[in-house]
Amino acid sequence: MALLNFKKKEAPVGDAANPQVEAFLQDYSIEVMPRTAEKVENFRDLLPEGTRVYVAHIEGTPIEDMVATAKRLNADGFPVMPHFPARIIKDKATLADWIARYQGEADVKQALLLAGGVASPHGDFDSSMQLMETGLFDAAGFERLHVAGHPEGNRDIDADGSMSNVTAALKWKNDFQSRTDAKMALATQFAFDAKPIIKWADDLAAEGITLPVHIGIAGPAKLQTLIKFAIACGVGPSLKVLQKRAMDVTKLLLPYEPTEVVAELAAHKAAHPDFNISNVHFFPLGGIKTNATWAIQHGGDAATPANA
């Protein structure tokens, strides 16, 4: 019996029918956690073939659960990019063990390196740069390393609200790419307003940071859910977009969809082909199926049936 295959639905004019949005959504990626992945019966029913799937490593998640999720996704034909949060990795031996497990059991060849949302390091590592400096990913033959980007800054790194430390770290990572064989990109925190995202991306280019940007976009979700996650993740000024929406009683109970921010970014990309945002990375805060269905309806390729 053939598995279901999502088909693009008719969309409002200027929305999903927009060819700029369709082009912008090609090769998007999406993030899952082991506990959310367990709720998906078959990822091939939801995601385009070859979609990169990040596996978020939240503090307290056993490495066995992470590797099992990566193994399942790899078996289904999806390139897997697990998180390596520096501050929850005890030491170099632990890092080497994680890498070996991912490679040996799930054929993982790419990783997202980040400091991790932990105030105090659990061991020897404090930053993604220290993970990169171990040389373990290069020695293991990893083909791609992504690092974190923060369009609205990061108070954990720049307590004064500036971008100085974040920018300095990105310059170091940009130089790392130049002096190694690493294929790199920035995977960013989500934001809700296109204008500051565009300015941030342009500022990176002006600083000589050439890493392509995979812009974080929050998928469709209840407004209350998004506000909760946005505050917890330190989303900056663009949080006002949600707060303004929450004040409108006609929209308060309607689910948020990222149509407006995606359309504006897509239009900017179409008008400026050299714009350094190259991909969309979805945070499925309202559920993986909900996010995947929205992407398909708005131009992302529909999944190919696993069994014709």
CATH of the domain at 104: 3.20.20.220
Tally of structural domains, the chain: 1
Is residue 169 domain-resident? yes
pLDDT band (50, 70, 90) for residue 297: very high
- For residues 159 and 80, the model is more confident at 80
- For residue range 5-49, what is the model confidence (pLDDT) as tens digits? 333 434 443 444 689 999 999 999 999 999 999 999 999 999 999
pLDDT at 55 over 80: yes
> Which pLDDT score, from 0 to 100, does residue 214 have?
98
Is residue 87 domain-resident? yes
pLDDT band (50, 70, 90) for residue 224: confident
> Which pLDDT score, from 0 to 100, does residue 138 have?
94
Is residue 280 domain-resident? yes
- For residue range 158-203, what is the model confidence (pLDDT) as tens digits? 566 667 788 899 999 999 999 988 899 999 998 889 999 999 999 9
| Cross-strand partners of 184 | 145
pLDDT at 123 over 50: yes
Is residue 302 domain-resident? no
Is residue 4 domain-resident? no
Is residue 124 domain-resident? yes
Is residue 163 domain-resident? yes
pLDDT at 2 over 50: no
Is residue 215 domain-resident? yes
Find the domain containing 178 and state its range: 19-297
> Which pLDDT score, from 0 to 100, does residue 7 have?
37
